[in-house]
A and B are shown apart, each in its own frame.
Chain A
Amino acid sequence: MIPNRLALVLAVPLAAGLALPFAGLRANRIAAAEPVWLWQALGAPAAIGIALLAVLTVMWGRVLAAPALAAWLALMGVVAHRLTAGGPDFARVSPGAGFWLGAVALALLLADALAQRRPGPVARLTWLAAAWAALALLLQGWGHVSILQEYAARYMTFWAEAQRHLALALGSFAGAVLVGVPLGVLIQRRAGWRGPVMGTLTAIQTVPSIALFGLLILPLGWLATHVPMARAVGIGGIGMAPAFVALFLYALLPIVTNTVAGLRGIPASVAEAARGMGLSPRQRLARVDIPLALPVILTGARIVLVQNIGLATIGALIGAGGFGTFVFQGLGQTAPDLILLGALPTVALAFSAQVVFDALIDLLPGARA
């Protein structure tokens, strides 16, 4: 079996992953890490065995990528368990550069193996669900890995922040879709409005996110002090409201742009036929224009959803909560594991949202015409 070109390229980071420190051992959670190589943790014979398995994985990447990645993650749990056994309670084992490099190489190998099969939308959703199930299972074995210890110390707040993060990202996303699509339809019909609307949205997009939060603190704070109703529903200068508004504003431009592009992409003959058949303006919009523009609109929505999940972390800076809370706490305490506790779930969420959305687009009837 000759490995494909990508597998050969990925063999380099995989080899580096084996050669670099697999884990870092620290006396406590903020101390400097002491590198631990695989052979130190497991002994030379086991390390040689793992290296041989890595060669096999490169050769038969299509079949072995998934089990190899699972084994690699499980190995981290085993190494952590070994290094901490009998040691003091506050010693920490965190994944090292070797582990991350190897994991990324194997993940890319797996992604390539999956792409080769050209899975349909349902298959992709099934794979995603399977990946989540496998991850949940593998993390059971990570009890002695530092990130999971950070989680164990604050699992109550973790899920509360997860909920806030999702509420912030999904809520502002839904709001942007509800406003952006009608706005796109409107400016597609009234050419005169297109310039001002697009100009405003583009201008908003150029404001850096932290600056936008800052700009929103004043008007929303004013609103909270002068309108009792606003304060009653939780609107204030800091917290959820400015973060929500900022994410919503950032999300509008891609949604509106893609709505306009999708509507423009409708063939002239189809639009002509819809009028000629006697569909009323509302029926044309609901039955022909929107369904045909939907794949393009959803592409914009996907960008926004992924963007919002990522941007929502910044919301923690102004008290909006979310996974960003852990990132900024970790930065403040120079505790890298805590940063990862915020960053890794955000990445996983964004990735999953993208897979789910792409699958939904493919599931639209006639979308692949």
Chain B
Amino acid sequence: MIGLNHLSKHYGDTKAVDDVSLTIDKGSVVAIVGTSGSGKSTLLRLVNRLIEPTSGHVTLDGQDTRALPAFELRRRIGYVIQDHGLFPHWTVARNIATVPRLLGWSKARIEARVEELLTLLSLDPAAIGPRFPHQLSGGQMQRVGVARALAAEPELLLMDEPFGALDPVLRGKAQADLRAIQRTLGTTILLVTHDMAEAIALSDRIAVMRAGRVEQFAPPAEILARPATDFVRALVGEGERAFRYLSLTPVGSLAEAGAAEGAPLPADATAAEALNALIWRGTESLALEGGGRVTRSALLRAGHP
């Protein structure tokens, strides 16, 4: 469990972060969403003490993080940034090995870990491991950045706009991969994004920030259904609310007995994807893989709380 306790960071009269308290459950994904200048990146950097808070503190499994030297603390916390920041003079394998080497792992253990992570991120260890960062595509660099952050099995993974530099197609894929990896490893993730759709797709809870304060901290469904302030409502985007809501619902949960025409949809597709398929095919119901079907009325009903 990670606790942010009354964290504040003031620069002169400006309150970049103003008395923020959040609790992040072990194994959960929390997204911090806000417009630029809302203090979300500053908040993230307070957690691994890249910035020292004016007041307040962070606890990691109940331990006050101020008890450790900052650089030792950071070795226990993974960190992914938008421009990935791979070390250009080191190979991919050496980049991923950064923190394990700092921690003095054995050579064999490091090699095994690097191979495991490259495989996990669908990168061929033999082909990609010996390359230098400038020989990789943007998507590959981003994945290596994630692998490097995960290398020493961190208790917490911080991600600052991790997919900001990717094109929309790659971003969707990277988000799905991250969700899958998070489920496999059970890593606790604190992620900063300005994209509400990304926050909804990835996280268990969302903290909406504005002018250094958290306006609402709640699961995505609740943020959509009951935005606490006008700012949150505006950020959610009323024009797309129903579709965002549908994107939270797995289509399997709306299944009923019966048959339908056409190719069956995977049961873990979202209701938003199902509605899209339904409209495009011009049918009343869709078959699901593993039996059953979902009807138009069930989908429409699922589009609001």
- The stretch of A166-174, A218-226, A273-281 in contact with B is A273-281
- Are B72 and A366 in contact, CB atoms less than 8 angstroms apart? no
- Are B71 and A273 in contact, CB atoms less than 8 angstroms apart? no
Give the residues in chain A near B81, CB-CB below 8 Å: 269, 272-273, 276
Give the residues in chain A near B72, CB-CB below 8 Å: 278
Give A291-308 as 1s and 0s: 1 = Cβ < 8 Å from B's Cβ atoms: 110000000000000000
- Are A273 and B87 in contact, CB atoms less than 8 angstroms apart? yes
- Are A273 and B88 in contact, CB atoms less than 8 angstroms apart? no
- Are B132 and A277 in contact, CB atoms less than 8 angstroms apart? no
Known: A273-B79, A366-B132. A278 touches B74 (CB 8 A): yes
Within residues 326 to 369 of chain A, which ones have a CB less than 8 A from any CB in chain B? 364-367, 369
Out of B83, B85, B90, B102, name the residue touching A278 (CB < 8 Å). Answer: B102
User: A74 at interface (Cβ–Cβ under 8 A)?
Assistant: no
Give the residues in chain B near A365, CB-CB below 8 Å: 89, 132
User: A114 at interface (Cβ–Cβ under 8 A)?
Assistant: no
User: B293 at interface (Cβ–Cβ under 8 A)?
Assistant: no
Known: A275-B74, A278-B72, A278-B99. A269 touches B85 (CB 8 A): yes
Out of A274, A277, A279, A369, name the residue touching B134 (CB < 8 Å). Answer: A369
User: B148 at interface (Cβ–Cβ under 8 A)?
Assistant: yes
- Are A366 and B85 in contact, CB atoms less than 8 angstroms apart? no
- Are B132 and A278 in contact, CB atoms less than 8 angstroms apart? no
- Are A270 and B87 in contact, CB atoms less than 8 angstroms apart? yes
- Are B74 and A366 in contact, CB atoms less than 8 angstroms apart? no
Residue of A nearest to B45 (CB): A276
- Are B88 and A277 in contact, CB atoms less than 8 angstroms apart? no
Out of A275, A283, A366, name the residue touching B88 (CB < 8 Å). Answer: A366
Give A260-271 as 1s and 0s: 1 = Cβ < 8 Å from B's Cβ atoms: 000000011111
Residue of A nearest to B148 (CB): A277
Give the residues in chain A near B249, CB-CB below 8 Å: none
Known: A267-B83, A273-B79. A278 touches B148 (CB 8 A): no
Known: A269-B83, A269-B84. A275 touches B50 (CB 8 A): yes
Q: How far is the CB of A274 from chain B (nearest CB, A)?
A: 7
- Are A277 and B89 in contact, CB atoms less than 8 angstroms apart? no
User: B54 at interface (Cβ–Cβ under 8 A)?
Assistant: no
User: A288 at interface (Cβ–Cβ under 8 A)?
Assistant: yes
How far is it, in angstroms, between the C-alpha of A268 and the C-alpha of B50 when the chains are bound? 14
User: B166 at interface (Cβ–Cβ under 8 A)?
Assistant: no
Give the residues in chain B near A276, CB-CB below 8 Å: 48, 50, 74, 79, 81, 85, 158
Residue of A nearest to B133 (CB): A369
Residue of A nearest to B99 (CB): A277
- Are A270 and B85 in contact, CB atoms less than 8 angstroms apart? yes
Out of A274, A278, A281, name the residue touching B87 (CB < 8 Å). Answer: A274
How far is it, in angstroms, between the C-alpha of A277 and the C-alpha of B76 when the chains are bound? 9
User: B213 at interface (Cβ–Cβ under 8 A)?
Assistant: no
How far is it, in angstroms, between the C-alpha of A142 and the C-alpha of B148 when the chains are bound? 63
- Are B102 and A279 in contact, CB atoms less than 8 angstroms apart? yes
Within residues 62 to 112 of chain B, which ones have a CB less than 8 A from any CB in chain A? 71-76, 79, 81-90, 98-99, 102
Q: How many residues of A are counted as interface, with CB atoms below 8 angstroms from the partner's CB atoms?
A: 24
Give the residues in chain B near A271, CB-CB below 8 Å: 85
- Are A292 and B88 in contact, CB atoms less than 8 angstroms apart? yes
Interface centre among A269, A283, A288 (most CB of B within 10 A): A269
How far is it, in angstroms, between the C-alpha of A278 and the C-alpha of B89 when the chains are bound? 18
Give the residues in chain B near A288, CB-CB below 8 Å: 87
- Are B99 and A369 in contact, CB atoms less than 8 angstroms apart? no
Q: How far is the CB of A47 from chain B (nearest CB, A)?
A: 55
How far is it, in angstroms, between the C-alpha of A367 and the C-alpha of B73 when the chains are bound? 31
How far is it, in angstroms, between the C-alpha of A274 and the C-alpha of B84 when the chains are bound? 11
Give A50-72 as 1s and 0s: 1 = Cβ < 8 Å from B's Cβ atoms: 00000000000000000000000
Give B130-156 as 1s and 0s: 1 = Cβ < 8 Å from A's Cβ atoms: 001110000000000000100000000
Give the residues in chain A near B86, CB-CB below 8 Å: 270, 273
How far is it, in angstroms, between the C-alpha of A291 and the C-alpha of B74 when the chains are bound? 22
How far is it, in angstroms, between the C-alpha of A367 and the C-alpha of B88 when the chains are bound? 8
Give the residues in chain B near A292, CB-CB below 8 Å: 87-89
Known: A272-B81, A275-B50, A369-B133. A280 touches B88 (CB 8 A): no
Q: How far is the CB of B135 from chain A (nearest CB, A)?
A: 9
Give the residues in chain A near B90, CB-CB below 8 Å: 366
Residue of A nearest to B135 (CB): A369
Known: A365-B89, A366-B89. A277 touches B98 (CB 8 A): yes
- Are B84 and A277 in contact, CB atoms less than 8 angstroms apart? no
Interface centre among B50, B76, B85, B133 (most CB of A within 10 A): B85
Q: How far is the CB of A99 from chain B (nearest CB, A)?
A: 47
How far is it, in angstroms, between the C-alpha of A273 and the C-alpha of B48 when the chains are bound? 12
Give the residues in chain A near B71, CB-CB below 8 Å: 275, 278-281
How far is it, in angstroms, between the C-alpha of A288 and the C-alpha of B72 when the chains are bound? 18
Within residues 1 to 20 of chain A, which ones have a CB less than 8 A from any CB in chain B? none
Residue of B nearest to A271 (CB): B85
How far is it, in angstroms, between the C-alpha of A278 and the C-alpha of B65 when the chains are bound? 14
How far is it, in angstroms, between the C-alpha of A288 and the C-alpha of B50 when the chains are bound? 17
Q: How far is the CB of B280 from chain A (nearest CB, A)?
A: 41
How far is it, in angstroms, between the C-alpha of A274 and the C-alpha of B48 when the chains are bound? 13
- Are A270 and B88 in contact, CB atoms less than 8 angstroms apart? yes
Give the residues in chain A near B102, CB-CB below 8 Å: 277-279, 283
Residue of A nearest to B74 (CB): A278
Give the residues in chain A near B158, CB-CB below 8 Å: 276
How far is it, in angstroms, between the C-alpha of A271 and the C-alpha of B98 when the chains are bound? 14
Known: A276-B81, A277-B74, A278-B74. A367 touches B89 (CB 8 A): yes
Residues of A within 8 A of B (CB): 267-281, 283, 288, 291-292, 364-367, 369
18 more A-B residue pairs beyond the given contacts A273-B85, A292-B89, with a C-beta to C-beta distance below 8 A: A267-B83, A269-B81, A270-B85, A274-B85, A275-B50, A275-B74, A276-B81, A277-B79, A278-B71, A278-B73, A279-B71, A291-B89, A292-B88, A364-B89, A366-B88, A366-B89, A366-B134, A369-B132
Between-chain CB contacts (< 8 Å), 9 pairs: A267-B83, A272-B50, A272-B81, A273-B79, A273-B85, A275-B50, A276-B48, A279-B102, A292-B87
**Those 6 A-B pairs whose CB atoms lie nearest each other, nearest first:** A273-B85, A278-B74, A276-B79, A278-B75, A269-B83, A269-B85
